[in-house]
Amino acid sequence: MTDLIHLWKYCHGCGQRPLEGNRFECERCPSGPDRDLCQQCYQSFQDGRLEHPARDHFHAPEPREFHSFRAVEGESAERHLPWLAVDQSDAPPPSVSKGFVVRPEFRCGWESFFGSYAFVVESELSDSPLLITALHVMDELIKGKNIDCSSANASYTGDELPSILTRVNLYDVFVENWAFAPLGSAGSMVSLPDARLGEEEPYCQRDIAAFRLDRDASVCPGKLAGTPTEVGEAVWLVANPARSTKVEMMSAVVVESNRETFVYRLAAGTRDPRSTSGAPLVNCKGEVAGINIGIGWFQGNHFGHANNATSIRNHLRTVPCRNAALR
More confident call, 59 vs 327: 59
The predicted-structure confidence for 193-218, as pLDDT tens digits, reads as follows 999 998 889 999 999 999 999 989 99
Fold of 86-327: Thrombin, subunit H (2.40.10)
Closest CA to 34 of 18, 54, 6, 19: 54
**What are the residue ranges of helices labelled H in 145-241?**
none
The predicted-structure confidence for 121-134, as pLDDT tens digits, reads as follows 998 777 789 999 99
* DSSP one-letter string for 78-90: GGGGGGGGSPPP-
Q: Give me the residue spans of the domains in the chain.
A: 4-80, 86-327
Quick check: 280 pLDDT over 90?
yes
**High-pLDDT (> 70) share of the chain, %:** 91
Where residue 41 falls among pLDDT bands split at 50, 70, 90?
Answer: very high
Contact 206, 199 (CB under 8 A): yes
Q: Cα–Cα distance between 282 and 271 in angstroms, integer?
A: 18
Q: Cα–Cα distance between 160 and 42 in angstroms, integer?
A: 34
**Per-position b or e across 301-316, b if 16+ CB within 10 A of its CB:** bbbbbbbbbbbbbebb
Neighbours of 1 (CB within 10 A): 9
- What mean pLDDT do residues 59-80 have? 79
The predicted-structure confidence for 16-34, as pLDDT tens digits, reads as follows 989 999 999 988 777 666 7
Q: Using CA of residue 28, residue 30, residue 34, residue 36, what is the dihedral sign? A: positive
Where residue 326 falls among pLDDT bands split at 50, 70, 90?
Answer: very low
The C-alpha angle 76, 84, 293, rounded to 5 degrees, equals 75
Radius of gyration of the chain (CA): 19
